[in-house]
């Protein structure tokens, strides 16, 4: 039961964080392009890289803490289901340029951010 509660609590925190950040970014940047979810996915992947590298090198986490952070918080925070819907909406509006830009930036940016997170921890960890 501890594992389930850890994931549920983390998911609630991550989902609220996603909503708050993506809403604020959309407010700042406007609704013409899904900047909010794009930035959330990139930030979330960077944080996943940091956590994964810390767990591998120095941080001895319990399974519940790992699940709370990764499956819970980051699973609720990063949203490739919202990414897919945003892509479909852009495509259905006939905005193929922005749809392709969004897919490329989301996937490429997220992978780059994850590897950058791994790298940052490797450089900063003694």
The stretch 106-119 carries a mean pLDDT of 96
Query: Is 80 exceeded by the pLDDT of residue 96?
Result: yes
pTM above 0.85, yes or no: no
Long-range contacts of 14-19 (CB under 8 A, 24+ apart): 14/72, 14/73, 14/74, 14/75, 14/76, 14/77, 14/78, 15/76, 15/77, 16/76, 17/73, 17/76, 17/77, 18/76, 18/77, 18/78, 18/79
- Measured at the CA of 110, the angle between CA 68 and CA 38, to 5 degrees, comes to 90
The stretch 86-93 carries a mean pLDDT of 95
The stretch 24-42 carries a mean pLDDT of 95
Average pLDDT, the chain: 94
Q: What is the pLDDT of residue 109?
A: 96
The stretch 45-50 carries a mean pLDDT of 93
Query: Is 90 exceeded by the pLDDT of residue 126?
Result: no
């Amino acid at each position: 039961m501890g594992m389930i509660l850890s994931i549920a609590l983390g998911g609630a925190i991550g989902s609220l964080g996603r909503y708050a950040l993506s809403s604020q970014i959309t407010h700042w940047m406007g609704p013409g392009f899904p900047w909010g979810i794009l930035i959330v996915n990139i930030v979330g992947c960077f944080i996943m890289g940091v956590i994964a590298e810390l767990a591998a090198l120095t941080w001895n986490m319990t399974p519940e803490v790992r699940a709370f952070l990764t499956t819970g918080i980051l699973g609720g925070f990063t949203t490739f289901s919202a990414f897919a819907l945003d892509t479909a909406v852009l495509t259905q509006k006939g905005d193929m340029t922005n749809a392709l830009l969004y897919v490329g930036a989301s996937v490429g940016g997220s992978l780059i951010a994850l590897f950058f997170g791994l790298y940052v921890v490797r450089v900063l960890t003694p």
